[in-house]
Structure formats: C-alpha cells, structure tokens
Amino acid sequence: MAQASGRQAVDESTLRLNFESIMPNPNLSTFSPAELVPSSQTERTRFGRDVIAGLRQEARRLSPKYFYDVAGSALFDRICELPEYYPTRTEIGILRDNAKAIAEVVGPNAEVVEFGAGSLTKIRLLFDAFAAGEAPLRYMPVDISGEHLHMAARRLQAEYPALQIQPVVADYTMPLILPKAAADSGKRVGFFPGSSLGNFQPDEALEFLRLAARLLQGGGLLVGVDLVKEPAVLHAAYNDDQGVTAAFNLNLLRRMNAELAADFDLNGFAHYAFYQAARQRVEMHLVSKLRQTVRIGEERFDFAEGDSILTEESHKFTVDSFRALAAAAGFSPGPVWIDEQRLFSVHWLVVR
Ligand code: AVI
C-alpha cells in the first residue's frame, strides 16, 4: 500500500503500541481494548495527511488501506460473497482441501502470526487440520483495527480454549516487535491470506516479505496469492453486477467527507476498474464525471472531467513470478497449492 516512504522510519508511537499490545493477555474476557486502540484523532491526522499528500501528486492516488472503516469493511465482506469475486471462496476451498498437507509443513506446536487478521475466519481452517496434541500453541493476530480484533479474538478464544491468543494492534506493514517464542513451541509461522499482498506496490511487497522473513526466523510463511488469468474474469470480479465494488470504492469519498471535513459529491465521481495486462494488475480509480472543485479543510483540489484518483492496485502473479519475489525477500519457496481452475494459489515459504 502507498506508505512505502514511511515504512523505514519506525514510528515511535506505533512501536510503543505494539509492545503494549503483545503483553500476555491471559484473560481476554476482562480485557479492555480501549487501552490499546490508537486514538481516533491520531488515525484521523494520519489519514488526512496521507490524503492531502496523495491528492497533491500529479497522478493522484490514495492508499487502499483507507477503504476499511466500518462501512468499508462491511462492504468488503459483501464483496467476498459476490458470485463474480472468486478469490475468497477459492482460497477457502484450497485451505480446506489441503489442510492436512499444510498442517504438516507448519509442524506441531507452532506459533502463528496472522497479518491483517480481520475477522479471524480463515485461521480456523488451519487450526482444525492438526492432529490432537499438535495444534498451534500460540496465535498472534495482527490488525490495525483494535476493537474489531479484540472482539474476534474473544470469539475465537471461546472456540479454542487451549490456544494462547495474543492480539497485536498494529499496522503490519511497519516493523513489529513480538514476544520471544516459548521454550516448548514449534516454528513461528506467518499467515497472510486473501492476496492482500497484491495490494502493495511491487517494492512494498518485497519490503513486507523481507520484514516477515526477519520476524519468522526458523519458520515460514503461508501466503495466499491471486493468479494471472483471463482478463474477463478479473474484470468481472472488480465490476460486479450489484455495484458492491463501486460502493466500496466510493465509500472512500464518504469517509473523507465524514472524517476530514471534505465536500466530495459522491454523484460527481464514477467507479472505474480495469485489468492492465502489461503490469499484471487490476487498477481501481474514482473518475471525476465533471469539472469540479473539492475542498478538504483548507485545501482545494480542482478536477477536470475525466480526472482520476487511483485508489487501489491489485497485483496478480504467476506461480513463478511470486516464487521469484519470495526468493528475493529471503525465503525458499516450498509447496504451492492451487485450485483446479488455477484461479488462486496458496504458497508455503521457508525462511532461509
Ligand atoms: C483485499 N484485497 C486483496 C482485495 C483485492 O481483490 O485486491 C480488495 C478488493 N478491491 C476490490 N475488490 C476487492
């Protein structure tokens, strides 16, 4: 996502937050997430700063990470259920069909770190695949949305009482500090499903994988990656008939109006998504339908008819191109599991 320049400079407040967030939390039910959630004012300031910087660029762009406010997350959940949006159900099928083989490479008593954990649904498929006595010992879901994460962690804890769950409220694209592995634990294993890696720009994807490799020393990473395919299939996935993806894209304007005192006219912009074959990526844009001026606080932005804001890149990979990227980041690519239609892939990468 479009925050590469900030990634190297470790944000002190984030680090402090990460450290507090990983403190052992044996009793999730009496735990108050409010202590760990960054103040919404801080988030808003960062959001505002990024938006202004993105809209000042010659080629205007916004980071896709800002799609996911409460309304945006609900719209994304609806996208995952759409007939045209194949990635979610295909990845779930791959995880289900290959759960035993995946459990084997992960090994017994693992410590699992999930990046951008969200609702913690896919991880259940993994946990259920282990033989008695071999299930992961500790689970550290990392997500920026603290309240949502803690609620999901509580639900998971009720289903898996023996599992030690330590939610980490943090931006997983920044360097993380995790607690030392317990003496009796197996490998430290990362889990990064959903092809979220595809939403990074290529240099950011490499940087994220490098950070992950450092964090997962002696272990590995299980990562879901969307595959290059027929453009018509990709086009349909990002231009659904019900207009849910369009609403998801336009919600970013509504969010800026609500949080940044902006005055975007939602009817003045159109959702536009297309597959750019040469770059193997889907691009989502918001295109101005007319000449207009938008105010964000004190700032003014002029749009000519047809001017666009790039809101998301969703990169697609071949098995080989992804394995080459992983190798460049310090992993030895291991087995890869793919559905019959070759829509989606799940890779096991071993830290070198
Ligand atoms: C979260 N991410 C992997 C989705 C994707 O397909 O790139 C986000 C999305 N954008 C539009 N539809 C779904």
How many residues are present in the chain? 352
With the most atoms of ligand 1 within 8 angstroms of its CB, the residue from 66, 76, 201, 276 to mutate is 76
Domain assignment present for 147: yes
Check whether residue 203 and residue 105 sit in a common domain: yes
Check whether residue 222 and residue 137 sit in a common domain: yes
**Total tally of structural domains belonging to the chain:** 2
Q: Which domain holds residue 182?
A: 98-228+316-351
Cβ–ligand 1 contact at 238 (below 6 Å): yes
Q: Please tell me the predicted confidence (pLDDT) of residue 175.
A: 87
Check whether residue 201 and residue 115 sit in a common domain: yes
CA 25 to ligand 1 center in whole angstroms? 32
Check whether residue 130 and residue 199 sit in a common domain: yes
Measured distance CA(87)–CA(85) in Å, rounded = 6
Q: How confident is the model at residue 186 (pLDDT cuts 50, 70, 90)?
A: very high
CA 147 to ligand 1 center in whole angstroms? 22
Q: Please tell me the predicted confidence (pLDDT) of residue 121.
A: 85
Check whether residue 332 and residue 294 sit in a common domain: no
CATH number for the domain spanning 160: value is 3.40.50.150
Domain assignment present for 155: yes
Domain assignment present for 1: no
Dihedral sign, Cα of residue 211, residue 215, residue 220, residue 225: negative
Check whether residue 196 and residue 268 sit in a common domain: no
Domain assignment present for 108: yes
Atom of ligand 1 nearest to the CA of 314: 7
Cβ–ligand 1 contact at 88 (below 6 Å): no
Domain assignment present for 93: no
Domain assignment present for 92: no
Atom of ligand 1 nearest to the CA of 196: 3
Check whether residue 115 and residue 245 sit in a common domain: no
Residue 301: name the closest of 251, 245, 253, 240 by CA: 253
Cβ–ligand 1 contact at 251 (below 6 Å): no
Cβ–ligand 1 contact at 136 (below 6 Å): no
Q: How confident is the model at residue 332 (pLDDT cuts 50, 70, 90)?
A: very high
What residue type is 152 in one-letter code? A
Atom of ligand 1 nearest to the CA of 76: 13
Give Dmax over CA atoms of the chain in angstroms.
64
Check whether residue 241 and residue 267 sit in a common domain: yes
Domain assignment present for 309: yes
- Is the pTM for the entire model greater than 0.95? no
Check whether residue 115 and residue 78 sit in a common domain: no
Q: Which residue has the higher pLDDT, 171 or 202?
A: 202
Check whether residue 307 and residue 320 sit in a common domain: no
Q: Can you spell out the DSSP letters for 122-169?
A: HHHHHHTTSPTT-S-SEEEEEES-HHHHHHHHHHHHHH-TTSEE--EE
Check whether residue 275 and residue 168 sit in a common domain: no
What is the share, in percent, of the chain residues with pLDDT greater than 70? 89
Q: Give the range among 8-12, 98-102, 122-126 with minimum mean pLDDT.
A: 8-12
